[in-house]
Amino acid sequence: MDYGPRAFAPALRIPLRMEDLEARWLLTSYTLTPVVPVIDAAMAARLSTVIQRGAALGNQANVFTRAGDSITFSNNFLVPLGMPTAGVDLAGDGSLNDTLAYFRSGQVGTTNYFTHPSAAAVSGYKSADVLGLLPSELAVSKPAFVLIMIGTNDIAAGVTLDTFRQNLTRIVQTALNAGVVPVLSTIPDSKFSAELERLQPSYNQVIEDVSEALQVPLWNYWRALQRLPNSGISADGVHPSVSPAGGGDLTERGLQFGYNVRNLTALQTLDKLRRVLISGQSPDLPSDNQSWAPLTNALAVAAGDTTGFQVEVIDTTTRRVLFRFDPFPGFDGSVRVALADVNHDGVPDLIASVGPGGPPHVKVFDGQTGTLIASFYAFDTGLTTGLSIATGDVNRDGFADIIVCPEANAPAHVKVFNGAGELLDSFLAFASSFTGGGRVASGDVNRDGFADIIVAAGTGGQGHVVVFSGTDLGLLASFFAFGPAFSGTVSLAADDFDGDGLAEVAVAPSSAGYDPHVKVLRPLTEKLVSSFYAYDSGFRGGVQLATTNRNGHSALVTATNTAAATDVRVFESPSNGLLDAFFVYETGFRFGASFGG
């Protein structure tokens, strides 16, 4: 492989105009989320690990605390549940009594944590205030759980959605780092002014977005209030209403008031936490009792390290997580994913391969039902470098084929399999002396109806990209994505982004130390279609690329790789218009993610 000097024309730099995203956060999928948190098997596995880590730090399983503003600070909230005498009426339902007794047994002095005045819950608090005082509260109370409801004062103070999202993410991460399970709560409707009422849904959606990204429980208090008079809000337009008999009145009459419903749903939430995370009872089925959802308009995401699950599937229209699952139970490393219709039923199927540290195992799951339809090893089981994976119909039979290549520390040996795991092609993309591995993509670059195979050299390959014909593996193109002086690695994606019938190739530096520069070009001529920075020029943590379908057209997906939160953006190419932006995983998660769309 020749890595000698070559002449390159200056890159065309098309400025990226960042449009206002605020309106895009107004998707209100939180309105459909259940009141009591759904804790599926993947979430239970991850949060059980958090509790175990907390126990080693001295946290107590029967202790919880709270964080928030005046609605959380109020003596109408939780305090009545901690009283050992009258004031709590479960309306003849004894199912919550065990949980009530369990958390009453968590003592602080002569009382319990239902009545404990948390230092992180004070009237007037905003998210930044909670963030500042939560560490000291967790250090003092040593809880297993913290109930968090914040946002009303952020809206009133004009805290931007982006800042609120960042603060809330850091609050959750603070709890997780302390071995404490955070439970986020949606906020009530604001009746104080029309403007606050207009803004409230977008802040609730951010709360759900953060709970989805960090895989922590969401207690949808907002939804519980919707059936109540005035949505459970008192005459002041801000605080929940309370029964004349007190917040602990959980009779049918008492549960017509906001604080009373909050106490009941808090107890139900604690009950779910105790049963699933402490007692080890069965978790919920994923995604509101659906173990699988068809993969139409979906994006598959695999974390760059273990997070208690391996893959989550996101609806690209609503950004809701459809479900999470482990394609390789027992393997706690990263995986790689792709979506393509390998069985020709019109629905994309999910293809997963083991990442670095595991054998080169590939599995294919039916996109309609989740049924395992193929399982095979792409190379000898001794290869543990991880696989780059792509899909494309290389033999024009109407079925997507599976293209794999070792990612690193091995020759760039490309293999092509059909959806049943049968080998179709096998070749070296570069000379056998090159052992930096490779990244693969696929697209019809010459409009002959066959998917062509695109390979970028891995470590030490200087961003060298080659394209091979899907018909005969003949070399169609060879170029350096960022010039021969580039010493990093690149990520790849290919699709017909501009609708001209020819696939373009998108490239971006995937290794740290380079600007987040994305190029989209025609590989046969090296003509630049577009060139832009997907993120601020100060970000130099590497970019991952994928494609997805948005509004019936191909769109380019970018994600920050390392040294930052996994910031996902969807671009309309070739205009570079920003269609959507959202986060997966938490701020401080620095292991990146792989995508398949």
Tell me if the bond preceding 574 is cis, omega within 30° of 0: yes
pTM comes to 0.58
Percent of the chain residues topping a pLDDT of 70: 86
Q: Where does the pLDDT of residue 405 fall: very low under 50, low under 70, confident under 90, or very high at 90 and above? A: very high
H or E stretch covering 457: strand 452-457
Mean pLDDT score, 13-18: 29
Structural contact between residues 147 and 172, judged by C-beta atoms closer than 8 angstroms = no
CA distance linking residue 38 with residue 30, whole number of Å: 13
Whole-angstrom CA distances from 99 to 56, 90, 216, 219, 279 are 23, 12, 20, 17, 11
Asked if pLDDT for residue 306 goes beyond 50, the answer is no
Structural contact between residues 393 and 418, judged by C-beta atoms closer than 8 angstroms = no
Q: Where does the pLDDT of residue 95 fall: very low under 50, low under 70, confident under 90, or very high at 90 and above? A: low
String of DSSP letters for 117-164? --TTB-TT--HHHHHHHHHHHHHHH-EEEEEEE--HHHHHHT--HHHH
* C-alpha 92 chain-centroid distance: 41
Quote the DSSP letter at residue 274: I
Residue 499 corresponds to which tokens in the numbers above? 């609708």
Q: What's residue 152's pLDDT?
A: 92
Asked if pLDDT for residue 410 goes beyond 50, the answer is yes
pLDDT tens figures, 537-593: 888 888 989 888 777 788 888 888 664 456 788 888 667 788 877 766 544 444 556
Q: What's residue 585's pLDDT?
A: 56
> Helices 161-177 & 127-141, crossing angle to 10 degrees?
10
Structural contact between residues 456 and 480, judged by C-beta atoms closer than 8 angstroms = no
